[in-house]
Amino acid sequence: MTATILDGKATAAEIKDELRTRVKALAERGITPGLGTVLVGEDPGSQAYVNGKHRDCAEVGIASIRRELPADATQEQLDAVLTELNADPGCHGYIVQLPLPAHLDTQRALELIDPDKDADGLHPVNLGRLVLGYDAPLPCTPRGIVELLRRHDVPLRGAKVALVGRGNTVGRPLGLLLTRRSENATVTLCHTGTLDLAAQTREADIVIVAAGVPGLLTADMVNPGATVVDVGITRVIGADGKGRYTGDVDPEVAGVAGKLVPMPGGVGPMTRAMLLTNVVERAERQD
């Protein structure tokens, strides 16, 4: 069997089309949604991600608000930028690109973001709201995964999900989303300390891997016909000496899985589409 590929890029393009319509409706009310990005330093990877976010904004009609600080910026300088964006009525949501340089306090920065402008959905208040089942901006990667599965008719209700990864941006919040009453999946949250990981993944209808360990999920660990979602993204040096990104799923899994969300072309584009969705939703709620 060769897995059907669930194309995150094409689905993200569909979502962007839908967002364009919503942005037009907002324009009629005199509202232009605005997304802010805060980038500290010159890491080429982070610069590329931030540039991608602004390209996405331009495609959909969202205004871009870019704030850049040098690699040696002080915590006070960063605080000042966040305070300014919190007060800016044209900024409906913003993100602080992670990772920050090591001398800066990431927790302090993330907690300074106004929870109602938290486009990433990663503010402690919003993660708390997610735990409690209250309305809140949702974390982009988990939301993108649920949306991609929903749009490709992968049943979640009653499905057994093996989720590998307990990180704050993907695994842990995704477990919370999938076990909401509206999804009703049954989730086993596994991680790098799980004994006999294969015993867990072999039982699953859906295996989602977000551990950041290249090749962690091999074909023998997958129930034939299961849906597999690759959320891994690790920079490796290829045989040609060039850097590239690789996922957590071994390529041979495509011969066993029924459906596969690949990396690249899967969760990444959906994450970006959900960031835009969060900002448009924040703008729609504006009185």
Ligand X SMILES: Nc1nc(=O)c2c([nH]1)NC[C@@H]1CN(c3ccc(C(=O)N[C@@H](CCC(=O)O)C(=O)O)cc3)C=[N+]21
Residue positions forming the annotated binding site: 165-167, 233
53 given a catalytic annotation: yes
Q: How far is the CB of 186 from ligand X (least distance, A)?
A: 27
Binding positions for ligand X, 266-285, rule CB under 6 A: 268-269, 271-272
Q: Cis omega before residue 99 (within 30°)?
A: yes
Q: Does 212 bind ligand X (CB under 6 A)?
A: no
Pick out the residues of the known binding site for NADP(+). 165-167, 233
Instruction: Check residue 69 for interaction with ligand X (CB under 6 A).
Output: no
Interaction with ligand X in 223-262: which residues (CB under 6 A)?
Answer: 233
**Residue 104: CA count within 13 A, CB half-sphere:** 24
Distance CA 68, CA 86 (A): 16
* Closest by Cα among 213, 209, 214, 245 to 226: 209
What mask of x and - would describe binding to ligand X in positions 73 to 112, judged by CB under 6 A? ----------------------xxxx--------------
Of the residues 97, 200, 205, 230, which is catalytic?
Answer: 97
Region from 57-65, 70-78, 264-272, 278-286 binding ligand X, contact rule CB under 6 A: 264-272
Distance CA 45, CA 52 (A): 11
Q: Indicate which single residue of 246, 250, 265, 281 sits in contact with ligand X (rule: CB under 6 A).
A: 265
Nearest approach, Cβ of 259 to ligand X (angstroms)?
17
Report the nearest approach of ligand X to the CB of residue 95 (Å).
4
The reply to whether 140 sits near ligand X by the rule CB under 6 A is yes
Both tokens assigned to 7: 């194309």
Which residue is closest to ligand X by CB? 268
Largest Cα–Cα distance in the chain?
56
Catalytic residues: 53, 97, 120
Query: Which chain residues interact with ligand X by CB under 6 A?
Result: 49, 52, 95-98, 120, 140, 233, 263-265, 268-269, 271-272
